[in-house]
Amino acid sequence: MAHDSGSRSFDLKAMLRDERFWKIAFQVITLLVVLLLLSFFLGNLNRNLIQQGRAFGFSFLRNPAGFSIGESLIQYRPNDPYWRALMVGLGNTLTLVVGGIVLTTLLGVVAGVASFSKNWLLQKLSRVYVGLVQNIPLLLQLFFWYFAIFGALPNPANQIGILGLAFLNNRGVYIPWASSALLAILGIAATVGAAIAALFLWRWRTKIRIETGVGGQAQSIALAVVALAWLAIITLGMNWTVPEGVEGGGVTGGLRLSREYVASLTALVFYTSAFVAEIVRAGIQSVSKGQWEAARTLGLNAGMVMRLVVFPQALRVIIPPMNSQYMNLTKNSSLAFAIAFPEIYSIATTTYNQTGRPVEVFVVMMATYLTLCLLITVVMNQFNRSVQFKER
Amino acid sequence: MTSVTPDSLSSAPPEILALGPVAWAKKNLFSDWFNSLLTVVIVGILGWGIFRLASWALTVAQWQVIPNNFGLFMTGTFPSGLYARIWALLAVVCGLAGLSWGVLGRNVSTLFSRSVLIGLGLVCAFIVLFPPTRPSSLKLLPMVALVAIAAAAGRQVGRKFPGIGKWVSLAWFLSYFVALWLIGGGLGLTPVSTNDWGGLVLTLFTAVSGIVLCFPLGLLLALGRRSALPVVRLLSTVYIELVRGVPLVAFLFMGQVMIPLFLPIGSRPDRILRAVIALALFSAAYLAENVRAGLQAVPRGQREAAMSLGLNTPTTLGLIILPQALKIAIPAIVGQFISLFQDTTLLSIVGLAELLGIGKSILANPAYLGRYAEVYLFLAVIYWFFCYAMSLASRKIEEKLNTEH
């Protein structure tokens, strides 16, 4: 009885030997240290801010910004509030990111597939491109494109015309575009819609042909109709305006892509594509050799082997790392501020310089980029689910 | 069942082994019409591009900007009277590099094989012939000799004392503080303000400091994220995910502006220190993810076996799990170091005169107005050289550590 009560009473030695105690103690200590550090930092922050006479708060976002912005998707005047200026920056970031993602995917996949080309020159070209671009800092490349390439284009008086459809000069690139923003949105929506419809029709047609062995004509006709409708909308419905060179230099009409935008986009696309090319290459390499050989034995030619057999299997390996490349592209788009492209980071620093509110500005910036990255992750996860093997 | 008759064997055409350049071109460049078209188009574009580049480089470009500012590119506004200290630093690094090479290669039959000798010869030729290095090439050649001599010595010492490896690592660690002392002064040397640190020296210094600081932090975060303790796991995960969602420029901006706000009123750490801290805090989150991938690749049985042998958690991690995990993660970790090295360019945005920053300030000099292409191409060559060397080294290490058969 005495022995029993002794083992139940508090025994320090036994407790110190017990791993469960240490697990809990370690967590408590970690939490305490983190909390202490946080309270130290936040306390200092609070004292510093009070000393500078700026209590934490976001109400300053409603004050007039008072600076002008070079390019914007939405209406903006200098006496608009800060939050509207930040929206302009967000819009510019989005144009950069969306354009960047589309072009990066295209160039990266082409460069990745090219490293398997039978053509020796193309294969080496792809390898040299990746080895060169991956090892040079993005910011340096950005400066190079902006100052040394696009900055070296002739001035508007001697601008370069391309077939009378587009113009290049040191102020930017001029391309044909819909005459109003609404029509441009319509055109983009029609393109996306047609692509989705075509994808579904194609899958339906394949399914019918696999299950019945014949048929699919109706779907083929529907596909053609979709294509024709899209062509009609794009060519006739958008009321294209073509840029025209003006006597003595300059351009009217069309869409002007500023030199800052074009240089940022080019640098981002060339840099990120090199990483995408490596991902695509690794993905294709992960498909076992037997798949290539089996497909060739069935009589498919090299292009069809890649398109129908190897690439769809490689996608399983390619999609997950692509997510982080898209996120990198999004975050790297903030570098465009170094060449004065008014994206969100640039607007945020201007806001900070004018209001002297680093904490609030940092919170806004962090929230914006986290949201963008989260959006990309959600979309890519959906896409990833659709290309993975369906097991049972 | 399927039998091959001798007749069918003999009637099969023998494989033609054509090795001439014409046959090679026919196979690799002109195998069919599409391939031929591709070749013609690529040759056309490449030829035009190379011709334009060469004619620009030889006629239009004014390369004078590079040799005239070579000192600035290498050391920034470091006082030229104290250049001897930078040379001493270079000598220390060269000596240690040679020593490590010798110790690592102690079991190789010949340290100076033909390809290595050719490489050293090329380096010497480059130093002698490359115009910007002219005034200092007399000091650079002994550095190459120093590497070779240290390598030979390291080999001898390494053979005699096989355990010398950890002392070399310790020497590398101590050399970091020697570098700090030689650049910054103090303890008997004339102090140099951090405002005068710059150029390639600052780039390398910030990159190395960032790597040294971010490695232990990244390791801890990775272990924390894989930990069975919920509080530790949550804290690590939140840190990693928050940092990975924010661009580095924003983080550096925070480092410059907000670190003083987080500290007691009036304390303001040096701006290079602030930049290095921000760089390390940022990279640690990415490094943690790379290490975590390595940790995940170690089979569960390893941990269970270690536990059943009676090892406790720290020894299991330190002796069993981490060595295997880090070996798997080496390519990714080196990749992260390469991107950290490239990320030092962003310090030019927050006003440090590292390599890209000094390039910008040279371009702002009216005497070199518009020499963008020359300066940026020169900088690109430097960055490319260092990054490529790192990726090459990582490939070598990977081959060496690959014990699978």
B372 lies within 8 A of chain A by CB: yes
Question: Sign (positive/negative) of CA torsion B31, B32, B36, B39?
Answer: negative
B248 lies within 8 A of chain A by CB: yes
Whole-structure pTM value: 0.86
B340 lies within 8 A of chain A by CB: no
pLDDT band at B206 (very low <50, low <70, confident <90, very high): very high
d(CA A254, CA A164): 12
Confidence at residue B380, expressed as pLDDT on a 0 to 100 scale: 94
Asked whether the beta carbons of residue A362 and residue B373 sit closer than 8 angstroms, the reply is no
Distances (CA, A) of A96 to A88, A262, A267, A276, B201: 13, 9, 11, 18, 34
Supply B20's token pair.
Answer: 């001439």
Lowest mean pLDDT among A9-13, A41-45, B124-128: A9-13
Confidence at residue B208, expressed as pLDDT on a 0 to 100 scale: 92
pLDDT digits (tens, 9 = 90+) for B286-337: 999 999 988 988 888 998 999 899 888 888 988 999 988 988 888 888 989 9
Asked whether the beta carbons of residue A362 and residue B258 sit closer than 8 angstroms, the reply is yes
Which run of H or E residues covers position B374?
helix B372-401
Supply A99's token pair.
Answer: 């354009």
B389 lies within 8 A of chain A by CB: no
Asked whether the beta carbons of residue A134 and residue B377 sit closer than 8 angstroms, the reply is no
Contacts with B235 from chain A: Cβ below 8 Å? 30-31, 34
Return the number of CB contacts < 8 Å for A and B.
156
Per-residue pLDDT at A20 exceeds 70: yes
Beta-ladder partners of A172: A169, A258
**DSSP code for B76:** T
Confidence at residue A9, expressed as pLDDT on a 0 to 100 scale: 63
Asked whether the beta carbons of residue B247 and residue A345 sit closer than 8 angstroms, the reply is yes
The SS3 call for residue A159 is: coil
Task: Determine the residue among B42, B45, B253, B395 to mutate to test chain A binding: the one whose Cβ has the most chain A Cβ atoms within 10 Å.
Answer: B253
Beta-ladder partners of A258: A172
d(CA B77, CA A273): 37
Mean pLDDT within A241-267:
84
Confidence at residue B258, expressed as pLDDT on a 0 to 100 scale: 82
Lowest mean pLDDT among B31-35, B170-174, B383-387: B31-35
pLDDT digits (tens, 9 = 90+) for B237-292: 999 999 988 899 988 887 888 888 888 877 778 888 889 999 999 999 999 999 99
- Percentage of chain B beyond pLDDT 90 is 27
ipTM of this complex prediction, to 2 decimal places: 0.86
What's chain A's average pLDDT? Answer: 86
Distances (CA, A) of A83 to A363, A373, B251: 13, 21, 21
Question: Sign (positive/negative) of CA torsion A293, A294, A298, A301?
Answer: negative
Contacts with A130 from chain B: Cβ below 8 Å? none
B89 lies within 8 A of chain A by CB: no
In chain A, which residue's Cα lies nearest the Cα of B26?
A: A119
Confidence at residue B1, expressed as pLDDT on a 0 to 100 scale: 42
